[in-house]
Amino acid sequence: MGTRRSANGRPGDRGRRRRPAAAALTAGLLAVAACGSTDGAQRARTEASDWLVQPSFKYDVLCLLNVLTGDPYYLNYYADEYARFEPELTPEARAALANLQRVIKTEGGGIISATLTLYFSIVEDSTLAGMSARLDDPASLRLRLRQTPYYAEESWQRFESIVPDLQVIFDYLADRGYEEEWAERHLPELRARAIELESRLPEWSLLAQVARLTGMPEHAGPVEILVLHFNQPHGIRITGTRYLTYSGWPLRIVLNDAIHEMLHPPYDLDSDPELRRAIEGLRASEFVMDKVENHDPSLGYNTLEGLIEEDVVQVFEQLLAEQAGIADDPGERWRTSDEGIHVFAAAFHHLLERDGFEVGAETIGARLKRELTSGALWPGNVRRLYEEFYGETSEAAPTARDGDR
């Protein structure tokens, strides 16, 4: 969805993607690592990211809570699972789940799984009993969260208000014997998928590439891929170099998500007030704000800041994937995914491609700020760029800071 952005997940319909041959995939990714440098192949060998792929009960059960609320959005994926649980939910568990959905999703505009997996990723507790006991002292969780880039007081207050509900839910699942049930129903398949993925992942300097693009210090590896059953349709970044993926997605999608999730956050707004102001200036774009304000909140991206961060990450993920030969068609992607809300991504991608942008020539934040402040991405130009990208014609092509209707 995650985090300082409105969702640290990446929702979307991944069913239309196709997996290329593994050999071609690896060759393409090594080309991305080179990034135009004459010593790129050697750098790819010496800086290659290690991968760690494994299942996780902890994160899978936190994603299961999306389903247990009965939210129709998730029943599109897990109706049979919900039907198996629903008759056995206790009145206390039903009430707790309803409040969880109200606080995080309905009122907070967030995603339950993205919020909970992020918060619990800062502690080692990995059992229902351990997570419930951790909530006896939520201040310890808060202290650790404040040491990450993802702390926000308003989000924390919402989380703290549902601590009793989470304990009711964890205790209900523990009484049901759900850890043993999950190990029997899901662990063998997840373990087999993790082994398969790890054997096919390429040697690629993902973390070094991300550091060059974001201008932030390179994270120590490995890149940890946690293979789950219940996280559809979200790929979710948590703390560290870890992200959550669905066991049924093909290798191509897992690798695209690796690029995408490691690029979050692509810049640091806290240390760049000029960039923050420039993004805020997009509130004058009726075209962009219509997408912020009028979409299914289950998708996440329910703030301007959150949607722009997601769109910027999608642009650079797309550029890297194009170089690697594993990208979807960008026009089809942004026209159809997430109800077509990523209009800024289409406009920004078109601008960079039109101007011959070389990936890695400058950091993401620097380039975005330059385009926002120079006029190229002023509010009045976003729709014009979007329509150029799709070969459409606008009745008016404003070029100043006026709203683009």
User: What is the per-residue pLDDT for 29?
Assistant: 44
User: What is the per-residue pLDDT for 208?
Assistant: 87
User: What is the per-residue pLDDT for 400?
Assistant: 42
Shared domain check, 273 and 236: no
Strand order in the sheet with 242-246: 51-55, 223-228, 242-246, 236-237
Shared domain check, 247 and 340: no
User: What is the per-residue pLDDT for 225?
Assistant: 95
Q: Tell me which amino acid residue 400 is.
A: A
Rounded distance between C-alpha atoms, residue 258 and residue 320, angstroms: 11
Q: How many domains does the chain have?
A: 2
Shared domain check, 350 and 319: yes
Q: Please answer whether residues 330 and 297 qualify as being in contact, where contact means their C-beta atoms are separated by less than 8 angstroms.
A: no
Q: What residues contact residue 136 under an 8 Å CB cut-off, 6+ apart?
A: none
Q: What pLDDT tens digit does each residue of the chain (405 aa) get?
A: 333 232 343 333 333 233 333 334 444 443 444 343 333 333 333 345 679 999 999 999 999 999 999 999 999 999 999 999 999 999 999 999 999 999 999 999 899 999 999 999 999 999 999 999 999 999 999 999 999 988 999 999 999 999 999 999 999 999 999 999 999 999 999 999 999 999 888 777 788 889 999 999 988 889 999 999 999 999 999 999 999 999 999 988 998 888 998 999 999 999 999 999 999 999 999 999 999 999 998 888 999 999 999 999 999 999 988 888 888 899 999 999 999 999 999 999 999 999 999 988 999 999 999 999 999 999 999 999 999 999 975 443 334 445 665
Rounded distance between C-alpha atoms, residue 24 and residue 177, angstroms: 45
Helix then strand then coil, in percent of the chain rounded to 5, is 60, 5, 35
Domain that holds residue 224: 22-55+199-263
Q: What residues contact residue 98 under an 8 Å CB cut-off, 6+ apart?
A: 69
Q: Residue 179: inside a domain, yes or no? A: no
Torsion angle (degrees, nearest 10) of CA 300, 105, 72, 78: 80
Rounded distance between C-alpha atoms, residue 6 and residue 3, angstroms: 7
Q: What residues contact residue 28 under an 8 Å CB cut-off, 6+ apart?
A: 323, 324, 325, 326
Q: Tell me which amino acid residue 264 is.
A: H
Q: Residue 340: inside a domain, yes or no? A: yes
Q: Could you tell me the pTM of the whole model?
A: 0.76
Shared domain check, 289 and 213: no
Q: Residue 315: inside a domain, yes or no? A: yes
| Domain limit, last residue, from 216, 235, 263 | 263
Q: Please answer whether residues 52 and 195 qualify as being in contact, where contact means their C-beta atoms are separated by less than 8 angstroms.
A: no
